[in-house]
Each structure stands twice: as C-alpha cells, then as structure tokens.
C-alpha cells in the first residue's frame, strides 16, 4: 500500500481523487435509481428501462464530444457547465415524471443527462503523468481503475439505502448534488490549469480527431470485445442463478465478481511490472480464459469461486489500457483519446448484455458463457496482432 499512500500524499492528489469520486458517483447511482423511480411513477419497466438505456446511450456519445471540447477549451470551461446540465436533466426526470410527462420527453431527458456526464475520469487520467513521479504511474492508473470499481459497488448500495430512507427520487437528487459539488471542487484545484491552456501548436484535428492515431484505434478495437464479454457475464450470472433455483444469489455473485476486480486492481498497483505492453497482452489473454470455465460450473458454490479470478483481471486490464492511451494520444487530443476506449468498452457491455439475453432464452447460459469467452478472446488476438500500433510514436527532437 506504500505506493498508494505516496500518490495520495502528493500535492492536491487526495482532494482531486475525493472530488472526482463525487463527480463520478452518478455512474453508480443513476441507472438503478432511474429504474426504481420510473417504475414506481409510471408502473412500467419498459419506460424505466428505456430511459435508463437512453442515459447509457447518451453517455457513450457524449464522452468523446466533451473530451474534444476539453482539449480545445480547457477543463474549467467545460466540466462544470456540463455537470450543471446533467444535474438539471436528472431534476427534470423527477419533476416531469411527477407530472405524467410523455415517455418521449422522459427519454429525451435521460439522453441529455447521459450526454452531459462530465468526463472527469478522462481529465484525471490525463493528469496522472504530471501529478506523480514516473515510478508511480502504474499504481496511479491502478488506483483510478479501482475507484471506478468502488463506484460500481457502492453506487447501487447507496441508491438502495437512500431509496429505503426517502425514495428513489432522493437518490437521483443526491446524484445531482454530488456531480455538481464534486466537479466544482475538481475544477477549482490548481492542477486542472494545465488542461485549461490547450496547446495551440497541435496539428489539425480533422473529423476523426484522436481516432486518427493508430494506437487509439487499436485500443478502441480491443476494448469492445472485452466489454462484450463482461456485459454477457452481467446477464449470464443472474440467468445461471435462476436456472440453479437460487435467483437470490445473483447479487452476491456479481458483488464477488466486482470485489475480485477491486482486489485485482489494488494488487496490480503494488507489483513491480517489467513491461507495460507485455502486461497488456497477458491480461488480454488471461481474461477470456477466466470466463470459459464458468460454462462448466456444476453449482453455485463453484461459480462463486470462479467469478473471483474472472474479476481480478478486469481493473488491471483497464488500467494498462488507460496507461497505454497516454503514450499513443496525438498532441492536443489527450482528453478525447482517453474517452474513446471507454466508450467502446461501454458499448461492448451493452451489446454483450443484449446478446446474452438472446442466448439465455435459446441455447442456455452455458452457451452464453462460452460465447462470452470466445468474443473476449478476439480482443486478445487483436491486441497481439496490433501490438506495434500501441507503441508510442517517435517524438520530434
């Protein structure tokens, strides 16, 4: 843990991390809170799921757009206004649902809320190389990935607690307040100034922007099948639990999986890594190998043991990819570059969840887990074949 303590003791890092956690809290709260609230207000899971899906879709589209805006205008001019729009959109969902607004209006509010999720994660990732010494970069990116896992674990739990004490609407209000307060503190700190002075000498961006860089494109390609595999697991585990006659353990299994990722991320930051690129290839190959055995699980207890190593690979793999982005991002496009792999990853999760639903209704959960592992394996093959693209380009002297 010494490395993490060194990172958190660096100037401003502790406050940056804490404020970014608040700014990113909606990632863990919004989806469940929207489903609970709109199901309660409208009586329809279709409406609730549709608005939640619109939020996810808007988030996937908005991240690269906002990343490009931050690269051009600076963090302070973009993050806080966007956070306010996000909070207002959540408030609109609550208020309009109370007034029995048409479904299309609620869908539009959900999409705007998703599009306006501030890209705090990408901005913080771009700052790590300036905030800490090079020997701590690996641990810094591991800490960042672990924080995301912490949000995914604590967000639904916090939503359930707030909903029980007040109502699901209360969880959305807390989310709105957290994103504005967290983003305001984050953007007020001195380290954000380096992204408030965009490099005027960067090359013309063109329509593709950061995607024009081969390394960024390769990370987008490898991130999608990884997301598909994980999305299939998120649906496959509840399907497995129901087939075993124990649907109530699905949440426990998913929590163990997330806990495995949390532990894996922390452990990754504490080891001495020899090669970033070799580590990325190894983790890309190991992940599908941890998914395939789930298809042969004979019981809930065995699955409980198998989901732990499956989770342990996720945060370290995401950490290596985030670190790789810093080496291949084009000048003047760093923030946008960080958004593209995560957008691809989230899109893969959505596609994987949909595909798994079809497979579970047809061949069954065992087939779904085999397909999940096979698709994740294509991401490993892409990483191997495209490894040259992930090496940092030579910088002019």
- Answer whether residue 396 shows pLDDT above 60: no
Out of 198, 229, 253, a domain closes at 198
The domain in which residue 373 lies consists of 208-390
Same-domain check for residues 218 and 344? yes
Nearest to 110 by CA among 167, 42, 161: 42
User: What tokens appear for 239 in the block?
Assistant: 């399907």
Specify the residue for token string 């997330």.
258
Looking up tokens 């397909």 gives 371
| 53 and 84, same domain (yes or no) | yes
pLDDT at 196: 57
For 80, residues 6+ apart whose C-beta sits below 8 A from its C-beta are 118, 180, 183, 184, 187
Which one, of 77, 84, 70, lies nearest residue 126 by Cα? 70
DSSP 117: -
Token pair belonging to 192 = 């954000």
Residues 229 and 82 in one domain: no
Residues 352/58, Cβ–Cβ less than 8 Å = no
- Quote the crossing angle between the two packed helices 75-98 and 103-115, to the nearest 10°: 160
| Average pLDDT across the chain, whole number | 88
CATH number of the domain bearing residue 99: 1.20.1250.20
Q: Check whether 393 has a pLDDT greater than 80.
A: no
Cβ-Cβ contacts under 8 Å for 174 (sequence gap 6 or more): 29, 158, 162
Q: Are residues 24 and 165 in the same domain?
A: yes
Q: What is the sign of the dihedral through the CA atoms of 222, 309, 147 and 326?
A: negative
* Rg for the chain, CA atoms, rounded: 20
pLDDT tens digits along 134-149: 888 999 999 988 888 8
Kind and range of the H or E element at 100? none
Q: Do 313 and 294 share a structural domain? A: yes
Residue 1 lies in a domain: no
Hey, what are 234's tokens?
Answer: 């998120």
Last residue of a domain, one of 198, 223, 239: 198
CB 173 within 8 A of CB 348: no
State how many domains the chain has: 2
Does one domain contain both 161 and 228? no
pLDDT in tens, 297-311: 999 999 999 999 999
Q: Would you say residue 395 has pLDDT above 70?
A: no
pLDDT digits (tens, 9 = 90+) for 296-352: 999 999 999 999 999 999 999 999 999 999 888 888 888 899 999 989 998 888 888
Domain end point (choices 147, 172, 198): 198
Summarised one tens digit per residue, pLDDT across range 252-271 is 888 888 889 999 999 998 88
> Can you tell me which residue has the tokens 């806990």?
259
Share of the chain above pLDDT 90, in %: 45
Q: Average pLDDT, stretch 383-395?
A: 79
216/275 same-domain check: yes
Q: CA 291, CA 288: separation in Å to the nearest integer?
A: 5
- Among 20-34, 151-165, 374-388, name the most confident range: 374-388
| Among 66, 30, 53, 133, residue whose Cα is nearest residue 357 | 53
Measured CA to CA, the distance from residue 211 to residue 341 in angstroms comes to 10
83 pLDDT exceeds 90? yes
**What is the structure's pLDDT at 80?**
94
Structure tokens given for 391: 């090496």
């Amino acid at each position: 843990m010494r490395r993490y303590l060194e990172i958190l003791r660096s100037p401003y890092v502790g406050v940056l991390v804490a404020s970014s956690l608040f700014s990113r809290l909606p990632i863990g709260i919004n989806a469940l809170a929207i489903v609970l609230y709109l199901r309660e207000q409208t009586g329809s899971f279709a409406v609730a799921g549709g608005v939640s899906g619109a939020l996810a879709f808007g988030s996937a589209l908005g991240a690269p757009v906002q990343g490009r805006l931050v690269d051009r205008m600076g963090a302070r001019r973009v993050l806080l206004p966007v956070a306010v729009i996000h909070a207002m959109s959540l408030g609109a969902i609550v208020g309009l649902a109370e007034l029995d607004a048409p479904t299309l209006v609620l869908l539009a509010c959900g999409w705007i809320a998703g599009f306006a999720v501030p890209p705090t994660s990408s901005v913080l990732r771009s700052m790590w190389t300036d905030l800490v010494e090079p020997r701590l970069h690996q641990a810094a990116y591991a800490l960042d990935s672990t924080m995301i896992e912490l949000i995914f674990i604590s967000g639904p739990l916090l939503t359930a607690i707030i909903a029980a004490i007040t109502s699901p609407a209360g969880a959305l209000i807390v989310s709105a307040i957290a994103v504005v307060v967290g983003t305001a503190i984050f953007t007020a700190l001195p380290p954000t100034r380096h992204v408030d002075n965009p490099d005027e000498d960067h090359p013309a961006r063109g329509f593709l922007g950061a995607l024009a860089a081969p390394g960024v494109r390769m990370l987008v390609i490898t991130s999608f099948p990884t997301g598909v595999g994980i999305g299939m697991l998120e649906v496959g585990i509840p399907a497995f639990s129901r087939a075993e006659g124990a649907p109530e353990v699905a949440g426990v299994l998913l929590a163990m999986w997330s806990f495995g990722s949390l532990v894996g991320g922390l452990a990754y930051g504490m080891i001495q890594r020899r090669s970033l690129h070799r580590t990325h290839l190894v983790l890309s190959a190991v992940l599908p190998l941890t998914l395939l055995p789930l298809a042969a699980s004979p019981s809930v207890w065995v699955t409980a043991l198998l989901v732990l190593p499956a989770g342990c690979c996720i945060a370290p793999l995401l950490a290596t990819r985030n670190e790789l982005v810093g080496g291949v991002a084009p000048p003047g496009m760093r923030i946008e570059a960080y958004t593209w792999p995560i957008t691809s990853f989230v899109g893969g999760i959505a596609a994987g969840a949909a595909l798994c639903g079809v497979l579970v209704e047809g061949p069954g959960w065992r087939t779904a887990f085999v397909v999940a592992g096979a698709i994740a394996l294509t991401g490993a093959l892409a990483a191997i074949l495209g490894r040259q693209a992930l090496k940092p380009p030579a910088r002019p002297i």
